[in-house]
Amino acid sequence: MVSTEQIKSAGRGGRREVPRDFVFTPERASQYLEKDMKTIIAELQTVKGRDRLFEEFMKHEDQIRQEHPDFDPDILREQIDAQGEMRLAKRGLLEDANTPEKKGIWKRAWEAVKSFPRKHPFITTALILAAVAGGGYLAWKYLVNVIPVPDVAKPAAAVAEKVVAPTGGAFDAIPAGNIVGPAPAMPSYAPTTPPVDGGILGGVPPPQPTPVPSLKDIFDSPLKY
Amino acid sequence: MDAIYLTAGEQKLFDALPKTLSKGWQVEEEDQVYEDTKEKFMVRISLMNLRDPKLLALQERVKKTRSHEEIIPLVDQLSLADISESDLLELFFAMGPKILSVNIADLLKRASGPADMNAIAALTFIRRSILTSLLSASTQWSARNK
C-alpha cells in the first residue's frame, strides 16, 4: 500500500509538510490495487475497465480518506476518465508531429519558439512545469502556487518575487489567487475605454499593473481553452 | 510559416498591430473549442515523459530545494534553445491550450518585431495541433463510451 505522501514546503519559519491531494495515476493504482501497470493501462482503455478500477479504488476509500481528507470520489472518476482521454490525445499529437508532411512545419515552429529570450516569462512558465513534474504527479494546490502564468512584460526575477509566499511559503495557508497576481482576470478582448482622469490637475492616471492570471484563474475561467 | 491561427478575440488584437507587423501574415480563424479542465491538465502533467538530460538534471536540483522560491533561479539557468524538440512537444502538450492562449494574447499585445510575430505564429500552430488532438481524442472517447 502506498504511504502517506507529502509535499515538502519550507518558508522562513522552517520545514513543514502538508498533505497532497489525491490524484489518480496508473502508478498509484498499481500500488493501491496491487496490480501490474500493464493491466492498469489496459483497463483504462475500456469503459468496463475504468468502472472496475473505480470500484476497486472505492474499496479503499477509508484508507484514502485517512491520508487525503479532501478525497472526492467524483473527482477520482473524472481523473480515471481523463487518463484515458489524455493518453489518446497525446498519442495523436505525437503521431501528427512525426508525419513526414508535418515534420518541416513543426521544425520551423520549434525554431521560432527557441528564439524566445532565455528569461522570457513564457519560457520560465514552461520550464517550471518541466522542473516540478520531476516529482511525479503533483497536487493542484501545489501547482497553483508554484506555476505563475506571468506577466510577459516583466523579467523572471519579478515573477519570482510574486511567487514567494508572503507568509513564508506554507502552501496551504495562502489563498492561491493572492500569490501570483493581484487580479484574477483573464485577458479581455473587449474594446477598452481609457480611464478618464477628472482630477483638477488633469494629469495622466498612474499606470496600472498588468493583471497576472494565476493557473487557478485560467482553469476557473469560462474561456474554453 | 506564414499562417497564423487566431480566435476572433485575438484577431482584434492582431488588427490593432502596426501594419509593419501584421503585413504578410495569412490569418486563419481558430474556431476549435475544447473544454480543458484542471483534472485533464493534471493528467497531462503526469503523462509528461521528459528525457532531455538537462531537464532531468533540473528536476533533480528542484527535488532538493526547500521552498518554491528556490525554483526560479534554477529554471533561469536554462533556455528552451537547450531542450530537445521531443521534450518541447511533451511540455507544450502538458501546458495545453488554455495556458498557450493566455500567452498568445499577451504576446499579441506586446509584439514589437518580426521575431515576436514568428513566435506568435508558432504558438498558434502548436495550439491548433494540440486542440485537434484533444478534440479528436474526445470524440473517439465519447464514441467508445456509448
Domain spans of chain B, in order of start: 3-145
Tell me the mean pLDDT in the region A153-166: 39
**Sequence-ordered alpha helix ranges (H) in chain A:** 26-33, 37-44, 47-58, 61-67, 73-97, 100-114, 121-132, 140-146, 156-163, 215-220
pLDDT at residue A214, rounded to an integer: 75
Nearest CA in chain A to B127: A225
- Cβ B137–A83 below 8 Å, yes or no? no
Verify that A10 and A32 share a domain, yes or no.
yes
Whether the CB-CB separation of B141 and A85 falls below 8 Å is answered with yes
ipTM exceeds 0.85, yes or no = yes
Domain-embedded: residue A173:
yes
Please give the torsion angle defined by the CA atoms of residues A176, A178, A183 and A185, in that order, rounded to the nearest 10 degrees: 0
pLDDT band at A224 (very low <50, low <70, confident <90, very high): low
- The three cell numbers of residue A92 are 495523436
Tell me the mean pLDDT in the region A34-57: 90
Domain-embedded: residue A195:
no
**Structural domains in chain A (count):** 2
pLDDT band at A150 (very low <50, low <70, confident <90, very high): low
Verify that A127 and A104 share a domain, yes or no.
no
Q: Are strands B26-29 and B3-6 parallel, antiparallel or unpaired?
A: parallel
Verify that A111 and A136 share a domain, yes or no.
no
Mean confidence (pLDDT) of chain A = 67
Verify that A168 and A132 share a domain, yes or no.
yes
Q: Which domain holds residue A52?
A: 1-115
Nearest CA in chain A to B8: A189
- Cβ A106–B42 below 8 Å, yes or no? no
Verify that A93 and A161 share a domain, yes or no.
no
| Model confidence at A15: pLDDT above 50 | no
Domain-embedded: residue A154:
yes
Query: Looking at the complex, does the CB of residue A165 fall below 8 Å from at least one CB of chain B?
Result: yes
Verify that A64 and A159 share a domain, yes or no.
no
The residue from A50, A80, A115 where one domain ends is A115
Nearest CA in chain A to B142: A85
Domain-embedded: residue A194:
no
Tell me the mean pLDDT in the region A6-10: 40
A–B interface: beta-carbon pairs under 8 A: 250
Domain-embedded: residue A201:
no
- Cβ A8–B50 below 8 Å, yes or no? no
Pick A135 or B110 by higher pLDDT.
B110
Sort out which chain A residues have CB atoms less than 8 A from B85's CB and list them: 106-107, 110
pLDDT band at A115 (very low <50, low <70, confident <90, very high): confident
Sort out which chain A residues have CB atoms less than 8 A from B70's CB and list them: none
pLDDT at residue A194, rounded to an integer: 39
pLDDT at residue A26, rounded to an integer: 87
| Model confidence at A5: pLDDT above 60 | no
Coil, helix or strand at residue B28:
strand
- What lies within 8 Å, CB to CB, of A184 at 6+ separation is A177, A211, A213, A214, A216, A217, A220
pLDDT at residue A171, rounded to an integer: 25
Query: Å from B114 to nearest chain A CA?
Result: 11
Please name the member of A81, A140, A149 whose beta carbon is closest to the beta carbon of B102: A149
pLDDT at residue A138, rounded to an integer: 62
pLDDT at residue A96, rounded to an integer: 94
- Mean pLDDT, consecutive 10-residue stretches, chain B (146 aa), reads 92 96 96 90 88 90 82 83 91 93 89 92 96 90 65
- What lies within 8 Å, CB to CB, of A12 at 6+ separation is A168, A169
Verify that A46 and A86 share a domain, yes or no.
yes
Query: Å from B26 to nearest chain A CA?
Result: 15
Place of cell 493504482: A29
Domain-embedded: residue A198:
no
pLDDT at residue A187, rounded to an integer: 32
Please name the member of B12, B43, B72 whose beta carbon is closest to the beta carbon of A189: B12
| Model confidence at A219: pLDDT above 90 | no
Domain-embedded: residue A40:
yes
Verify that A167 and A225 share a domain, yes or no.
yes
pLDDT at residue A223, rounded to an integer: 61
Give the mutation candidate from B32, B102, B116 for the A interface (greatest A CB count, under 10 A).
B102
Each residue's pLDDT tens digit, A56-101? 999 999 988 988 888 999 989 988 999 988 998 999 999 999 999 9
- Cβ A136–B131 below 8 Å, yes or no? no
